[in-house]
Structure 1
Amino acid sequence: MHALRLCKEFAQDRHQLSVERIADRMGVSHDTLYKWLATGRIPGILLPAFETVCGCSYASTWLAMSAGKFVIDMPKGKKISESDLVDFNTSFAEALSLLKDFYANGTGSEAAQQALQQHLAKAHWHHANVVKSATPELEFGDE
């Protein structure tokens, strides 16, 4: 699976982790990890550990998207500014305008899809943020 190799390359480039160091942090042998990377077959229960060590989530994102799921980062339940709401409204207006043009002219399918996807991600983010507002998570670093 290409996504597993991308995770490995991300860990090598960003965190200077070799396959041996990734395997060690996961608690598996490097031979086993090399086999999983070569075949693209890693046990599902170990995928979160692999991605945590690598510092990215390319493989689980690929799995979700290949199953037709929409993937967004989960918010931490923090307050937003008025400009965040203006941005949310603007993204909806842009998506709606492109959607109107698509239905009127049959053109701009790709742009409409992209704008709708971005707006849906923002809408879902706000939904999850409201849900998490009762129990916000602590922020321990720059994000």
Structure 2
Amino acid sequence: MSRSHSKPLPTSLRAAFEADKAHALARYRLNVERLAELMATTPATLYKWLETDAMPINRLAAWEHITRSDYVVRYLAAAAHKVVIDIPTGHAIQAADVQQLQTTLNAAVGALLDFHAGRLDRDGCIAAITGGLEVLAWHRENVRKNDQPELELN
């Protein structure tokens, strides 16, 4: 099933780390001490990385995997003027998926019109357009994988 909307994009690397950390705590009860243990480092080192926004790049994939959150990765991609999408598993879609796509794209066009009419701020417009890009790209990848469906293990 397609994604219905984009998660809000953090406004700084610090906010991205905090969002990932908060997600790990709220959803999986992983505090910094447990995150550090799973990343094979000390809590003091992890605290230092988070406080200075200086996590080594070779630890970032582990951070994303352990927190099960992608705010840092999405922030870094956006800073490089890229859009991140979840790759679908390649499965048959339902009519509701296509209707959700249409709703999301209509909302993106509406946001663009509202922005140019002065009724919507820049961040709101960008969020709506990004959501449209993500859901459309999701469907593109799903069509590309149509002849090689995968099991959904999540």
Letter in 1 for 2:137: H
Letter in 2 for 1:73: D
Shift of 1:6: 2.3
Letter in 2 for 1:121: E
Aligned length, in residue pairs? 139
TM-score by length of 1: 0.78
Letter in 2 for 1:83: A
Shift of 1:89: 3.4
Partner residue of 1:47? 60
TM-score by length of 2: 0.73
Counterpart of 1:120 (choices 133, 141, 144) is 133
1:79 aligned counterpart, secondary structure? coil
> Quick check: which one's helix share is greater?
1
Matched, 1:7 2:20: yes
Counterpart of 1:71 (choices 78, 84, 90) is 84
Partner residue of 1:29? 42
Shift of 1:108: 4.4
CA RMSD of aligned residues (A): 2.6
1:72 aligned counterpart, secondary structure? coil
- Percent of residue pairs bearing the same amino acid type: 34
Higher relative contact order (CA closer than 8 Å, sequence separation 6+): 2
Larger mean Cα displacement after TM superposition, 131-140 or 48-57: 131-140
Distance 1:11 1:130, change over 3 A: same
Larger mean Cα displacement after TM superposition, 110-119 or 65-74: 110-119
Distance 1:36 1:49 in 2: 14
Shift of 1:116: 3.4
Letter in 2 for 1:35: K
Shift of 1:86: 3.1
Distance 1:12 1:90, change over 3 A: closer
Distance 2:75 2:41 in 1: 23
Distance 1:82 1:30, change over 3 A: same
Quick check: which has more Rg, 1 or 2? Answer: 1
Counterpart contact for 1:2–1:40, Cα < 8 Å:
no
Distance 1:21 1:118, change over 3 A: closer
Matched, 1:18 2:27: no
Letter in 2 for 1:3: A
Per-residue deviation, residues 96-131 of structure 1 (Å, max 9, x unmatched): 4665x569x744464765543332222111111112
Distance 1:75 1:16 in 2: 27
